[in-house]
Amino acid sequence: MTTEKTRYDRSDFQTDQEVRWCPGCGDYTILAAVQSYLASLDIDREKHVFVSGIGCSSRFPYYMNTYGMHTVHGRAPAIASGVATANPDLTVWVITGDGDGLSIGGNHLIHALRRNVNLNIILFNNQIYGLTKGQFSPTSELGKKTKTSPMGSIDRPFNPVSLALGSEASFVARTIDMDRNHTIKMLSAMYEHDGSGLLEIYQNCNVFNDKAFLDLTDKGTRDGNRIWLEDGEPIIFGADDEYGVTFDGQGAKVVEVAGVGRHNIHVHDAANPNPSVAFALSRLAHGPYGPTPLGVFRNVPVPSYGRMLEQHIAQAKDKQGPGDLSKVIRSRGTWTVE
SS3 string, 53-105, reads: CCCCHHHHHHHCCCEEEECCCCCHHHHHHHHHHHCCCCEEEEEEEHHHHHHHC
E-assigned strand segments in the chain: 48-52, 67-70, 91-97, 120-125, 171-176, 197-202, 226-229, 236-237, 243-248, 251-256, 292-299
Write b or e for each residue in 137-146: b if 16 or more Cβ atoms lie within 10 A of its Cβ, otherwise e. Answer: bbbbbeebeb
- What share of the chain in percent tops pLDDT 90? 85
Q: What is the pLDDT of residues 288-298, one digit of tens each?
A: 999 999 999 99
* Whether residue 188 has pLDDT greater than 90: yes
Cross-strand pairs, 251: 248
Q: How far apart are CA 88 and CA 84, in angstroms?
A: 5
* Whether residue 32 has pLDDT greater than 90: yes
The pLDDT-based confidence of 4 (bands split at 50, 70, 90) is: low
The pLDDT-based confidence of 1 (bands split at 50, 70, 90) is: very low
Residue predicted with more confidence, 315 or 296: 296
Instruction: Indicate the burial class of 96 (C-beta count within 10 angstroms; 0-12, 13-18, 19 or more).
Output: buried
pTM of the model: 0.92
Rounded to whole angstroms, what are the CA distances from 6 to 41, 42, 92, 300? 9, 6, 21, 31
Which domains are assigned to the chain?
10-212+303-310 (3.40.50.970)
Q: How far apart are CA 270 and CA 265, in angstroms?
A: 16
Please compute the mean of the pLDDT values over residues 264-293 and round it to a whole number. 95
Please, which residues have CB within 8 angstroms of residue 305's CB and are 6 or more apart in sequence? 81, 85, 115, 116, 117, 118, 195, 196
Rounded to whole angstroms, what are the CA distances from 191 to 37, 122, 175? 10, 11, 15
* Whether residue 336 has pLDDT greater than 90: no
